[in-house]
Structure 1
Amino acid sequence: MKICGIRRIEDALAAAEYGADAVGFLVGQKHASPDFVDPDDAAAMVAALPPHIDSVLVTHLAEPDEIVRLANTTGVSAIQLHGDTSPDQATEIKQRVAQLKTYQAIHVVDAQSIDTARQYTTVDALVLDTLDATTDQVGGTGRTHDWAISRQIVEQLPIPVILAGGLTPDNVAAAIRQVRPYGVDVNSGTKGPDGYKDHTELKRFIDNAKS
C-alpha cells in the first residue's frame, strides 16, 4: 500500500505509523499537479523515513538520464514512471537501476489499456490510474476508472498490479474486492482541505484497505 503526494515529513511518518508500505514523492513535473516537491526536499524526507518503508520517486519525466539522476539525488528505493515513458525507456531505466523497484503507470481508459499494459511487463509492477484530459492531470485526479478493465489486467498480466485512481477510505474495500490487485495507491482520497494529508482519513484508508 502506497500513500502518494507526500509533501511534509509528518505526513510520511504518519503513513508509516498507520501501516503503509510505501510513500510517494512527486518530483520532475510536466503535467498539472499541486503535489510536486523540490528534489532536495524529497531527499530530506526520504532520509528521515524509517527503514521498513519504501520511498518512491513519482515522476512525469520520460528520459532515462533525467530519471536515473533524480533517483540518485533523492535516494529513493523505487521509481514510478508516471509520464510518457516508452516501453523501451522503461526497460532501460529498469536495467540501469536494477537495485531499485520500478513501476509503470497505465491510464485505464478503455479495453485498449489492456494492450498498453502488456507492453510494460519488464518493470516490477504496474500502477493503474485515471487520466483527466480536461485538466492535464495524469494522476491524483480523485476520479475512478472502469474497475472491470483493471480486473482483466490483473488476471491477464504476469507482474503485480497496483490499483490507483479515485480511491478513498469509503471505496477502497469495494475496489479491492472487485479488482483483486497486488496493492493500492492513494493520493487525493487522503487529503484535507489544506491540500496536505488528513491523518484521520489516512488512518481510515489504511485500516479499511488492510481489513
Structure 2
Amino acid sequence: MTRVKICGLTDEDDLAAAVDAGADAIGLLVDVPVDSPREIPPTRAAELAREVPPFVSTVLVTMPETTERTVEIAELVEPDIVQVHGTSVGDLAYLTANVDANVVCSIDPSTDRPERYDSVADALLLDAAETGGTGETHDWDRARELTESLSSPVLLAGGLTPENVADAVRAVEPFAVDVASGVESTGGRKDPDAVESFITNAKQRQRAVLQR
C-alpha cells in the first residue's frame, strides 16, 4: 500500500489533522536556505515530534550548511527519518553512519543520477525542485522507470494535490507520496479537508484491490 507523508507541519492542530486523516508520516522542515512559511526552529520541531503517536513516522526535512549540523539537529529532534536535500553521495554516507534514523535523499530525476544514491540512502524522494515545496510537477513516466530500476524505495513528490494523487499513484506505483503546498489553505497552514481527501485518494487503489 502506498504510504502518505504530509510535510511542512508547523503546529499541533495541523499535526492532529494529518494523524487523524491517516497519514503514515509527517514532515518537519528545519534549517533550509530558502524562505519558507513551513520552516520551524529545531526546538519547535522537537516539541511537535514528541506529539506524534506511535506507528506514525516523524521526518526531519533539512538542508543545513554542513552534515555535522544535520547530525546536531537530528539529535535534538529525534526523528524516525532524516530527509536531506542537495546532499552529495559522500555526505549522505556520513549521515547514514552518524544519525540514529533512516536517511532519505531528495533528488531531481531530471538532473541528478539517482543510481549514484541507490546503495547509500534508505529511500529516494523524487522531486522537481532542490528544496521541495514548490508545487512543481515532474515526469511521472521517468519516475515509474526509477521505481522499477532502483533497489531503494521511491517516494514521489512535486505538484501532488488531492485531485491528481490517485493518477500519480497509478502511473508511478511509488512506495510513498509526499505533499506540502498541495494541501494548504494558506502558506504553511494545512487545510484539513484537503489533507483528508489527499490521503483517501492516494490509498483508493489499494482499497479497491483489497475489496476484490
Determine which of 185, 197, 206 is the counterpart of 2:190: 197
CA displacement at 1:60 relative to structure 2: 1.4
5+ long unaligned stretches in structure 2: 205-212
1:171 matched residue in structure 2: 164
Letter paired with 1:94: T
SS of structure 2 residue aligned to 1:26: strand
SS of structure 1 residue aligned to 2:189: coil
5+ long unaligned stretches in structure 1: 132-136
Letter paired with 1:177: R
Q: Distance in 2 between matches of 1:100 and 1:87?
A: 17
CA displacement at 1:3 relative to structure 2: 0.5
Letter paired with 2:125: V
CA displacement at 1:33 relative to structure 2: 2.2
Cα distance change of structure 1 residues 177 and 67 upon mapping to structure 2, 3 Å threshold: same
Q: Distance in 2 between matches of 1:124 and 1:196?
A: 29
TM-score (norm 1): 0.91
1:134 matched residue in structure 2: none
Moved over 4 A (4+): none
1:66 aligns with 2:69: yes
Matched residue pairs, number? 200
SS of structure 2 residue aligned to 1:192: strand
TM-score (norm 2): 0.90
In 2, are the aligned partners of 1:31 and 1:60 still within 8 Å (CA)?
A: no
The Cα RMSD (Å) is 1.3
CA displacement at 1:62 relative to structure 2: 5.1
Deviations 1:131-180 (A, max 9, x none): 2xxxxx62111111111111111111111000000000000000011111
SS of structure 2 residue aligned to 1:66: helix
CA displacement at 1:194 relative to structure 2: 5.6
CA displacement at 1:130 relative to structure 2: 1.2
CA displacement at 1:108 relative to structure 2: 2.9
Q: Distance in 2 between matches of 1:177 and 1:29?
A: 32
Deviations 1:57-89 (A, max 9, x none): 10112522110100011121110012x210011
Structure with more contact order per residue of length (Cα contacts < 8 Å, sep ≥ 6):
2
